[in-house]
Structure 1
Amino acid sequence: MDWKLLESEYLYRVEPWLTLRRDKCETPNGTIVDPYFVLEYPDWVNALAITADGKAILVKQYRHALGKTLLEIPGGVMDKTDADPEVAVKRELLEETGYAFPEVYHLGAVSHNPSTSTNLTHMFLAVGGKKVQEQELDENEEIELVLTDVEEVEKLLRDNRFMQSLHVSCIFFALQKYRSLQSLS
């Protein structure tokens, strides 16, 4: 079922935020698909982060495309200097929240739209967080921390209060992992 890539042309490049590519492909039955547009992004990371005293760290920030301030989990883009997704998520957590986490569990990766985008989002559960510094936000970031009980996160998830689908996926898997860790202790 795999397609054969015949040609590829970059139409627009503003790395790392938006790279648009036009491909010409051939399907197994010989059909030529032209144009097929692909968005290239670097991989992303996110985490349900839980402090040493059992509080989940949520973030509130304005999301311009929707024109709304949303409740989310911390995360962001993998930098080229990040050795792997775990390094990236620890960096993002420290920058956005000021908390460092001794334990992070990789929960897998998901694609926000595999038909048009090349990247994955690596999902994590981070536990045992302690505040070690103030936030180090990018110039266009304004992030408010919201510390809450894990049970409240579960309620917010059930009530469909998280808009970002990649965050919903992470929260779902992270809560399962968190509960399994609790049952072991």
Structure 2
Amino acid sequence: MTDDSLSWETIDSTVAYSCPGFEIVNETVQLPDGTETDFDYLTEPPSVCILPLTPDGEVVCIEEWRQAVSRVNYGLPAGGTESDDVDLEAAARRELREETGYEADRLESLVSVEPANGFADAVIHFFVARGCRPTAAQRLDHDESIRVTTPSLEELTDAVADGALRDGRVVLALSYYRLFAEDRDEE
């Protein structure tokens, strides 16, 4: 899918701003027509998002305060990879356990996406977690305020359909699962 005639050449790259979780990178680039210009983007480690399903067909969801949109957000367990994570599945299991207190019998890769590749290098790796059961207390980060809920798959789908649920990760995970992966469960 690469068309080299569209490629930009990076001439210089510096970190303009750094904080826990992400950095803003400023690059000087040369466009295909020879023009030099600046390009800024957000860079962050890969992240995971988990669609956790209980044996009873419920979805383990979270309600979490999101300062950027000034409201409680209805979502799925998700987070960035950490240096101790041996792989993406380990990161997904850790995030599920920390944010919800649930653990899964098994995890399956669902899809990986670049949600905002016009201004960020973010990649989210989605997993379906099956056989989820509460096994421990939540272990939240110092800046997390999370409440666990367990709607049915249909209730969650209805919330997406009527616009009550706006978190892009949930919309994508649930849509992809319902369109492409749910049928595999019934085979």
Fold shared per TM-score above 0.5: yes
**Matched residues in 2 for 1:136 and 1:156: separation?**
27
Partner amino acid for 2:166? M
Work out the percentage of aligned pairs sharing the same amino acid: 24
Report the CA distance between 1:181 and its aligned residue. Answer: 3.4
Q: 1:177 to 1:128 in 2, by over 3 A?
A: farther
Q: What do residues 27-58 of structure 1 show as CA deviations (whole Å, max 9, x unaligned)?
A: 2221212x211211111111111112221111
96, 101, 105: which is aligned to 1:98? Answer: 101
**Matched residues in 2 for 1:128 and 1:77: separation?**
23
- For residue 14 of structure 1, what is the aligned residue in structure 2? 19
**Matched residues in 2 for 1:168 and 1:101: separation?**
21
Question: Which runs of 5 or more residues in structure 2 are unaligned?
Answer: 1-5
1:125–1:177 contact (8 Å) kept in structure 2: no
Report the CA distance between 1:161 and its aligned residue. Answer: 2.1
158, 175, 178: which is aligned to 1:175? Answer: 178
1:46–1:74 contact (8 Å) kept in structure 2: yes
2:104–2:132 contact (8 Å) kept in structure 1: yes
Is the counterpart of residue 162 in structure 1 residue 172 in structure 2? no
**Matched residues in 2 for 1:101 and 1:110: separation?**
23
**Matched residues in 1 for 2:14 and 2:177: separation?**
39
- For residue 82 of structure 1, what is the aligned residue in structure 2? 85
Report the CA distance between 1:179 and its aligned residue. Answer: 2.2
Partner amino acid for 1:57? V
**Matched residues in 1 for 2:121 and 2:162: separation?**
31
62, 66, 75: which is aligned to 2:65? Answer: 62
* Structure 2 counterparts to residues 118-129 of structure 1, below 5 A: 118-129=121-132
User: TM-score by structure 2 length?
Assistant: 0.91
Q: What do residues 69-102 of structure 1 show as CA deviations (whole Å, max 9, x unaligned)?
A: 1111111111122122211111100111111112
**Matched residues in 2 for 1:119 and 1:178: separation?**
23
Partner amino acid for 2:147? E
- For residue 37 of structure 1, what is the aligned residue in structure 2? 40
- For residue 113 of structure 1, what is the aligned residue in structure 2? 116
49, 52, 68: which is aligned to 2:55? Answer: 52
1:124–1:174 contact (8 Å) kept in structure 2: no
**Matched residues in 2 for 1:84 and 1:45: separation?**
11
Report the CA distance between 1:160 and its aligned residue. Answer: 1.9
Partner amino acid for 1:13? S
- For residue 24 of structure 1, what is the aligned residue in structure 2? 28
Question: Which runs of 5 or more residues in structure 1 are unaligned?
Answer: none
Is the counterpart of residue 3 in structure 1 residue 12 in structure 2? no
Report the CA distance between 1:178 and its aligned residue. Answer: 5.1
Partner amino acid for 1:2? S
Report the CA distance between 1:59 and its aligned residue. Answer: 0.7
User: TM-score by structure 1 length?
Assistant: 0.92
- Paired residues in the alignment total 182
